[in-house]
Amino acid sequence: MKLVTAIIKPFKLDEVREALSGIGVQGITVSEVKGFGRQKGHTELYRGAEYVVDFLPKVKIEAAVKTELVERVIEAIEKAANTGKIGDGKIFVFDLEQVVRIRTGETGADAL
């Protein structure tokens, strides 16, 4: 089992969710996050005061999937979240040791 974490542009969330549903991903967790990468920040101007906003708003999605699905998940996110411009985000893949469905007590791949 793998945990796929992706940082994407907020307005790409719906497309990514649709793409993941399309390949059979059962559920994802979404958080609103802030951060910076190569895109850096932007400047905001309030009357005479100029502020550099270092941290840009992003969306973090997390999906726990079976190992055989992981390549297609990566591909789906890459395709759906791509704008070709700097700041599209990153995908991180981790090994996933254990999963438990709290309601039934099922564990492992059955709980996904």
Give the span between the Cα atoms of 45 and 41, in whole angstroms. 13
Closest CA to 11 of 42, 71, 56: 56
Name the phi and psi angles at 16, rounded to 5: -65, -40
* Min dist. Cβ of residue 50 to another protein (A): 9
Q: Is 51 in the site for another protein (CB under 8 A)?
A: yes
Q: Which stretch binds another protein (CB under 8 A): 17-25, 45-53, 87-95, 102-110?
A: 45-53
As beta bridge partners, residue 72 has none
Site size toward another protein, by CB under 8 A: 9
* Min dist. Cβ of residue 5 to another protein (A): 24
* Min dist. Cβ of residue 44 to another protein (A): 6
